[in-house]
Amino acid sequence: MHERPFTALAAVYDAIMADVEYDHWADFVLTYARDGELEADLALDLACGTGGFTRELLNAGLRVHGLDGSTEMLKVARQRLPAEVTLSQGDLRTFNLGMTFDLVTCVFDSLNNLLTLEDLGMALRRTAAHLRPGGLLACDLNTQLGVRELWEENAIEGLAHTPEGREVHYHWSHHYDAATETGVVQAFCRVEDGAGGWDEFTELHRERGYDPADLKPLLDSAGFTRWETVEYPDYAPPTPETPRIWVFAWK
């Protein structure tokens, strides 16, 4: 059965992504913020999903607000995060929370799900509108190279277990659609249903790659005063062979 992106996947997302180093990413972001003398207290985690990165910001002592477009992902986040974390549903291009933050984050190539420069520009403008003067945006994006060559042999597969012990078999395949300049991931999952049978679903995900040169005019137009594009984990300048970049942009 084909499902919309980040719907059926929500129930098994954390099992499949158990090895994602959210804690290291948070340290990477917060070290940069501290080195830039940002006194961060209130953070907004955009495209927060099931709350993996949100939780690391909370563990670091920040007050955190999470926002995501998927009702299903937010339901899982609500179960795993304490009540003090506010969660909102919203579109990255149009959200309006009526408040500003010291730090805004958007990780795990979530911005690549915006498939046009116009949409990405809208999201960056909404982000800037939610930052206080002197606030910081920290985000990562797959480059055009990274989207074209997402995985070795263009597939990943494996076996994972949900917290209640159900087996999850997954096979995700990737191809690059040159006509639309997007990477297409077909995410197939087969999940134990708890009654001796199996549920199966497939979600189709699309990403567009963005290079530093693509981002410069968008960040400038959004109202950011300065920004830096670096590699993880050493903050080195990216090269043409860099598959994923991190952007730190100051309001």
Q: Domain-by-domain residue ranges, the chain?
A: 2-143+210-250, 147-207
Q: What is the pLDDT of residue 152?
A: 83
Band (39; pLDDT cuts 50, 70, 90): very high
**Is the CB of residue 144 less than 8 Å from the CB of residue 238?**
no
pLDDT grade, residue 250 (50/70/90)?
very high
Pairwise CA distance, residues 20 & 13, whole Å: 11
Rg of the chain on CA atoms, in Å: 18
CA triple 84-85-86, angle to 5 deg = 110
List, for residues 76-119, the tens digit of each pLDDT value: 999 999 999 999 999 999 999 999 999 999 999 999 999 999 99
Number of Cβ atoms within 10 Å of the Cβ of 111 = 25
Of 138-142, 153-157, 205-209, least confident by mean pLDDT is 153-157
Q: Are 82 and 54 in contact (CB under 8 A)?
A: no
Give this prediction's pTM.
0.97
What percentage of the chain exceeds 90 in pLDDT?
96
Residues in the chain, overall count: 251
What CA–CA distance (Å, rounded) separates 96 from 216?
Answer: 24
What CATH number was assigned to the domain covering residues 147-207?
2.20.25.110
pLDDT tens-digit map of 145-200:
999 999 888 999 999 999 989 999 999 999 999 999 999 999 999 999 988 899 99
Return the bridge partners of 228, or none: 248
* Architecture, CATH, for domain 2-143+210-250: 3-Layer(aba) Sandwich (3.40)
Backbone dihedral angles phi then psi of residue 118, each to the nearest 5 degrees: -65, -45
Provide the 3-class DSSP secondary structure of residue 141: strand
The answer, yes or no, to whether the previous bond of 233 is cis (omega within 30 of 0) is yes
H helix and E strand count, the chain: 7, 12
- The Cα–Cα gap between 156 and 151 comes to 7
